[in-house]
Amino acid sequence: MRHRIFGIWTIFLIAVAVLTGRLFLATVHPDKSGLKIRWQDQVRVKAEMEHLGGEVTDDARGRILFRNGEALSGQVRHAQLTTENGSIPYSIHTERTLTGRYAPRESGASVAGEVGLPDVWPTPDRVVAEQGRSGLEASFDSLLRGRRPGYIGVLHSATGQTEGSAVFQVKPKPGPDLRTTLDSAWQEAANLSLQKEATVKLGAVTILDVNKNEVLAMANRSVNGVWDLPAVKPAIPGSIMKLVTAAAAFDSYRFRPSAKFYCNGVSQLAGVQMHCWTVHGTETFTEAIARSCDIALAIVGSEVRREGLEAMWNRLHLTEPNLQSVGGQPVLREAEGGVLFRRSGNDNGLLANTAIGQEDVRMTPLQAANLASTIASGGIYRDVDLVLDAQVNHKPVRHFERKSETRAFSLFTAQKLAEAMSLAVEDPHGTAHDLASFHLPLAAKTGTAELPDGRVNGWMIGFLPVDKPQIAFSVYVGDLPESEAHGAVHRMATDIILAYRQFQPQGYIG
């Protein structure tokens, strides 16, 4: 009996010793204890912080960068710490942008996104009460989190007296920075173009580098506030869809570019009630695209049929966001795919309205810009890239994957679509002829989408120069009276052309 009691007592003492040792290790050397404890919860740190009068100098969150390494996100301000021996200047860096109120910005939401309060706090993996709430900040929240914030302050004794000039500093251990494809000059130009249009409450400007299919600029404006990114949200595309319809017709050999149509302003298709926006008379297929003839494209849609439209839509991946993915998810959580059909059927009415971008058709401005880029690239489809790498001290520590390219349509089809888009600028009857005054080899396609309330969405997409494309773009404004939408779209397209003329000689692209 004595031996049994002695054995139990020995086991008890050993267990107490082990637990005491682990507690001591967790207190003195938390990193070696195997326990996941936030740095600010360590006993030593708490004891020191009780006598520290100061503030956080760095939230330790990684920054989102332009392609040249310039900061796109966050803010830095300068301050001074007062001690008995004078003032000490220092800077404060924070990525925090929200205080709990979500109000629309003047120029709309940033692709970088917003940082706000976390869903759960405190947690072992979060050292500051911050969490990415939208944009890239949300998608890459776990990457950007820091390991320890920075502090500065003056040490006080236990009685509250200042310890002379004893300044206490804790250096931050920041998370990696995220470098994007965005070009600071192009982004500023896109933002300014959108800001100038006071009547535009919903809109987006997207500019792509054709050679690499990377986003150079993505400007957004929305009445829905900082959560909304219209550039990656589907909208009725109107005549932008006519390029998809024409691609399906050319690639299936159902129509030649020289095919003749006659537009008297009213559709002659059985069961279709459609009026063209003007009377075009006799025209070729190429001219019909350049002049955005509803009657001709409705006929093409009825001949290509549902299967042909769906096949081309899928080859252009328009049901998908068209945006780079990391870990199987788009790099912007807000990004959505488009819609071609929402109901079954193969009747002329459904096909005619779908062919001209009405009915159920939805497309994002990013997808529209990528459609222009695909045409400029000879029919080669690629997802659009937005992030390049993660960096620590300006050195890449991780490169983000990119999808391989696929052929969406033939080189012949791409060339004929490019010719039609060029004609839209060159032809006095073309819908983008006002841009011909710049004397640049430009390819463009306009779009007007009718909304139920009599208002419209206005669009223009294009690329330049035609012979050796460098940039592709889309301009979108939503829910405006028709004249206001057309005016805004053409002015914003003009801004892009002027920016190109300014930037191109200086080699800002690529």
Nearest Cα neighbor of 204 from 487, 460, 481, 501 is 460
pLDDT digits (tens, 9 = 90+) for 40-54: 555 455 555 555 556
Calculate what percentage of the chain has a pLDDT beyond 70. 82
> Is the bond leading into 149 cis (omega within 30 degrees of zero)?
no
Query: What per-residue confidence (pLDDT) applies to 107?
Result: 46
Using CA atoms, how far residue 274 sits from 150, 259, 453, 486, in Å, is 65, 21, 18, 21
CB atoms within 10 A of CB 163: 14
Task: Give the span between the Cα atoms of 382 and 320, in whole angstroms.
Answer: 12
Domain 38-179 in CATH 3.90.1310:
yes
pLDDT digits (tens, 9 = 90+) for 130-183: 888 999 999 999 999 988 888 887 766 555 555 555 777 888 899 999 999 999
Q: For residue 448, which phi and psi values (nearest 5 degrees)?
A: -130, 120
Using CA atoms, how far residue 458 sits from 58, 225, 275, 449, in Å, is 44, 21, 19, 7
Query: What per-residue confidence (pLDDT) applies to 101?
Result: 42
Nearest Cα neighbor of 349 from 316, 302, 393 is 302
| Helix runs in 252-327, H state only | 285-290, 294-315
CATH 3.40.710.10, the chain: domain bounds: 184-506
Q: For residue 187, which phi and psi values (nearest 5 degrees)?
A: -65, -40
What is the average pLDDT value for the chain, to the nearest integer? 87
- The superfamily CATH assigns to domain 184-506 is DD-peptidase/beta-lactamase superfamily (3.40.710.10)
Pairing verdict, β 64-65 and 177-180: parallel
Task: Give buried/exposed letters for 391-404 (b at 16+ CB in 10 A, else e).
Answer: beeeeeeeebebee
Calculate what percentage of the chain has a pLDDT beyond 90. 65
Degrees (nearest 5) of the Cα angle 217, 447, 218?
Answer: 10
First and final C-alpha spacing in the chain: 85
Answer yes or no: pTM beyond 0.75.
Answer: yes
Query: What tokens does 221 get?
Result: 């404006």
Predicted confidence (pLDDT) at residue 263 exceeds the cutoff of 80: yes
